[in-house]
């Protein structure tokens, strides 16, 4: 079957760095997405990886290893506004998105 695993909840301190991991098993693979979702709001796009390696975009970076079925989202210089859920989603061979349940990130002062 198809499956996306990510931690349910993480806590970090303002100004610190946090890494949110995601492992995936899909029938075929056509890329991995990370989305941010604040409570009561819609998901918004953060990053997309299709090749192995690190993609950096400001304070956020995303890494992909296709051979390991693994990705992570790295958030640096954490701010209180980064408190949100982070959703990992993999695109299968039919180009459909398979979503993880999301990681709720709590930032403490």
Partner 1 sequence: IAGITQAPTSQILAAGRRMTLRCTQDMRHNAMYWYRQDLGLGLRLIHYSNTAGTTGKGEVPDGYSVSRANTDDFPLTLASAVPSQTSVYFCASSEGQGGGEAFFGQGTRLTVV
List of residues contacting partner 1 (CB under 8 A): 4, 30-31, 33, 41-45, 48, 87, 89, 91, 94-102
Sign of the dihedral defined by the CA atoms of residues 100, 102, 38, 50, in that order: negative
Q: How far is residue 3 CA from its own chain's centroid?
A: 14
Residue 26 has which token pair?
Answer: 């899909």
Rounded-to-integer distance, Cα 66 and Cα 17, Å:
24
Rounded-to-integer distance, Cα 95 and Cα 34, Å:
16
By C-beta, is 34 or 63 nearer to partner 1?
34
- In the complex, minimum distance from the CB of residue 14 to partner 1, in angstroms, rounded to a whole number: 27
- In the complex, minimum distance from the CB of residue 56 to partner 1, in angstroms, rounded to a whole number: 17
By C-beta, is 31 or 83 nearer to partner 1?
31
By C-beta, is 39 or 109 nearer to partner 1?
39
């Amino acid at each position: 079957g198809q499956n996306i695993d990510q931690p349910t909840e993480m806590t970090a301190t303002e100004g610190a760095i946090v890494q949110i991991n995601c492992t995936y098993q899909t029938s075929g693979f056509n890329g991995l997405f990370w989305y941010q979702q604040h409570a009561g709001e819609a998901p918004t796009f953060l990053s997309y990886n299709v090749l192995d390696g690190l993609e950096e975009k400001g304070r956020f970076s995303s890494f992909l290893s296709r051979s390991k079925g693994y990705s992570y989202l790295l958030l640096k210089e954490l701010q209180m506004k980064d408190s949100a859920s982070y959703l990992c989603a993999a695109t299968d061979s039919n180009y459909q998105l398979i979503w993880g349940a999301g990681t709720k990130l709590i930032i403490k002062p």
